[in-house]
């Protein structure tokens, strides 16, 4: 019989509403691992126990837990009753890996009623292991560490532990609208908000031209990968070409990118309200491109009454790219595609557009009507 112990991350810092966070994490584990149907999942103090159960596919479960926000680390464990004899006998029969030369025992005892303290357990079980294997103890650089957690509800024995994603479980922080381009940054930005417990829905603007199917395919694949973290996601595909054609007649080429971005927020705002989301998420990072100078970002963000969160704002591209690889979006993001925002831009775009100018251009044509038309022709997909 095997169990898994899951240690959650920041939930430990919550006091009164801790059960709220823990229950969400348990729900997410159940959803992520259909194989656990009928298996007991218990909330213990500071950790979650999955099992014990026969025939748990640890490999497959690990693959899912690795991708679940809110988990600090997890481990396959042997669960024992709180009893010294049970501990001794489990250590006697414990299957051990080959080729080990140095080991140590590391005990954590939260159950103060146990007759031995953690130092005494280390010594006693260390001696027993030594007699059984002949391996020397090495406290500084052991090749194997036997962990013993003595809790109120049981003793847990394990060797390795695997790090999780950390953060908070998806579902504890409310909903956001992710503005998803086909690039590297915006999927990573959405992921960062999952890790803060948010759910997102996705809005993508397109001016499908000749590679219509490829672009669509690419964005849908990105959302499929991202949906794994929150189980399912809604994707709005919004046509942008009508608006763009109208915009380019009034906005000079140097300022078009900022104008496009403002219009995206205006189109998406009623979607945010309908979905009861609390703000937008973008992949902006200060200074990355001309439209992402502080001056231009404030002109862009002031197109909406809602907060715009940009979790990559102070990040460098390399860190973002590494994270994109880790979460599985990078290979899709680098596929070539026709970005709607590259439509009729200047080679040297304006880095400091003013809000007054932006607004004066927008008054020159029936912007609201165009926005509404775009929204009404959006295609809505449920992914995952
Ligand atoms: P990435 O494309 O991933 O963001 P980037 O550096 O290319 O990185 P821009 O193209 O300048 O960024 O866009 C900045 C942000 O604007 C994106 O991160 C995204 O949130 C939003 N955005 C840009 N294009 C679109 C689009 N076609 N649909 C929805 N949102 C978009
Ligand atoms: Mg982009």
DSSP 34: G
**Ligand index nearest the alpha carbon of residue 205:** 1
Calculate how far, in angstroms, residue 283's C-alpha sits from the geometric centre of ligand 2.
8
Per-residue pLDDT of 210-259, as tens digits, reads: 677 888 999 999 999 999 999 999 999 999 999 999 998 999 998 999 99
Task: Report pLDDT for 210.
Answer: 66
User: Which residue minimizes the CA distance to atom 2 of ligand 1?
Assistant: 183
Angle between helices 355-362 and 256-274 (to 10 degrees): 70
Calculate how far, in angstroms, residue 356's C-alpha sits from the geometric centre of ligand 2.
26
From first CA to last CA, the distance across the chain in angstroms is: 32
**Alpha-carbon distance 296 to 187, whole Å?**
22
Which range has the worst mean pLDDT, 126-135, 167-176, 332-341, 367-376? 332-341
User: Which residue minimizes the CA distance to atom 8 of ligand 1?
Assistant: 185
Calculate how far, in angstroms, residue 282's C-alpha sits from the geometric centre of ligand 1.
7
Calculate how far, in angstroms, residue 32's C-alpha sits from the geometric centre of ligand 1.
29
Task: Report pLDDT for 6.
Answer: 96
Average pLDDT, the chain: 93
In the three-class reduction of DSSP (H, G, I as helix; E, B as strand; rest coil), residue 41 is classed as strand
**According to CATH, where is 3.30.2130.30 located in the chain?**
2-163
Q: Which residues contact 135 (CB under 8 A, 6 or more apart)?
A: 100, 101, 102, 103, 129, 144
Task: Report pLDDT for 272.
Answer: 98
Please work out, in degrees rounded to the nearest 5, the angle formed at the alpha carbon of residue 71 by the alpha carbons of 66 and 74.
Answer: 65
**Which of 43 and 208 is assigned the larger pLDDT?**
43
Mean pLDDT value across residues 23-31: 96
Ligand 1 probe mutation, 176, 182, 183, most atoms within 8 A of CB? 183
Nearest residue to 78 (alpha-carbon basis) of 187, 2, 186, 165: 2
**Beta strand 280-281 with 308-309: parallel, antiparallel or unpaired?**
parallel
Task: Report pLDDT for 354.
Answer: 87
**Alpha-carbon distance 83 to 114, whole Å?**
8
Task: Report pLDDT for 164.
Answer: 95
Q: How many residues does the chain have?
A: 384
User: Which residue minimizes the CA distance to atom 6 of ligand 1?
Assistant: 185
Asked whether the predicted pLDDT for residue 286 surpasses 70, the reply is yes
Calculate how far, in angstroms, residue 284's C-alpha sits from the geometric centre of ligand 1.
7
**Alpha-carbon distance 350 to 362, whole Å?**
17
In the CATH scheme, what is the homologous superfamily, with its name and number, of domain 175-383?
HUPs (3.40.50.620)
Nearest residue to 215 (alpha-carbon basis) of 233, 239, 247: 239
Q: If pLDDT is split at 50, 70 and 90, which confidence band does 11 have?
A: confident
User: Which residue minimizes the CA distance to atom 23 of ligand 1?
Assistant: 181
Contact 25, 71 (CB under 8 A): yes
Asked whether the predicted pLDDT for residue 261 surpasses 70, the reply is yes
Calculate how far, in angstroms, residue 375's C-alpha sits from the geometric centre of ligand 2.
21
Ligand 1 probe mutation, 186, 263, 342, most atoms within 8 A of CB? 186
DSSP 351: S
CATH code of the region 2-163: 3.30.2130.30
Residues flanking ligand 1, CB < 6 Å: 179-181, 183-186, 203-205, 261, 264, 282-284, 288-289, 291, 340-341
Angle between helices 241-250 and 256-274 (to 10 degrees): 140
Show the tokens assigned to 78: 């042997």
Calculate how far, in angstroms, residue 321's C-alpha sits from the geometric centre of ligand 1.
15
Mean pLDDT value across residues 89-93: 95
Mean pLDDT value across residues 341-364: 83
Number of the ligand 1 atom closest to the C-alpha atom of 340: 27
Show the tokens assigned to 45: 């103090």
Task: Report pLDDT for 101.
Answer: 84
Ligand 1 probe mutation, 280, 283, 319, most atoms within 8 A of CB? 283
């Amino acid at each position: 019989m095997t169990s898994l112990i899951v240690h959650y991350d920041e939930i430990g810092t919550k006091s009164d509403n801790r059960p709220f966070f823990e229950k969400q994490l348990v729900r997410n584990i159940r959803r992520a691992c259909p194989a656990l149907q009928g298996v007991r999942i218990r909330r213990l103090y500071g950790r979650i126990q999955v099992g014990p159960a026969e025939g748990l596919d640890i490999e497959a479960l690990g693959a899912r837990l690795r991708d679940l926000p809110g988990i600090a680390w997890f481990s396959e464990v042997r669960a024992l009753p709180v009893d010294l004899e049970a501990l001794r006998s489990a250590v006697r029969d414990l299957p051990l890996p080959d080729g080990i030369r140095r080991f140590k025992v590391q005990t954590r005892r939260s159950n103060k009623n146990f007759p031995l303290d953690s130092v005494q357990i280390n010594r006693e079980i260390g001696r027993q292991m030594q007699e059984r294997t002949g391996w020397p103890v090495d406290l500084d650089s052991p090749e194997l560490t036997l962990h013993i957690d003595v809790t109120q509800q049981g003793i847990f024995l394990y060797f390795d532990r695997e790090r999780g994603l950390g953060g908070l479980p998806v579902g504890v922080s409310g909903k956001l609208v992710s503005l998803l381009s086909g690039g590297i940054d915006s999927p990573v930005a959405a992921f960062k908000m999952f890790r803060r417990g948010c759910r997102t829905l996705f809005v993508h603007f397109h001016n499908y031209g000749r590679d219509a199917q490829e672009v669509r395919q690419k964005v849908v694949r990105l959302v499929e990968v991202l949906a794994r973290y929150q189980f399912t996601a809604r994707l709005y595909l919004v046509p942008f070409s009508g608006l763009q054609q109208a915009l380019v007649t009034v906005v000079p080429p140097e300022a078009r990118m900022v104008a496009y971005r403002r219009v995206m927020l205006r189109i998406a705002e009623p979607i945010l309200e309908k979905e009861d989301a609390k703000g937008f998420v973008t992949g902006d990072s200060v200074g990355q491109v001309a439209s992402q100078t502080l001056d231009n970002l404030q002109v862009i963000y002031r197109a909406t009454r809602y907060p715009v969160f940009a979790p990559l704002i102070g990040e460098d591209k390399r860190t973002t790219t590494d994270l994109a690889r880790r979460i599985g979006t990078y290979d899709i993001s680098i596929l070539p595609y026709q970005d709607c925002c590259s439509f009729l831009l200047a080679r040297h775009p304006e880095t400091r557009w003013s809000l007054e100018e932006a607004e004066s251009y927008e008054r020159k044509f029936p912007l609201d009507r165009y926005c509404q038309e775009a929204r009404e022709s959006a295609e809505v997909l449920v992914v995952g």
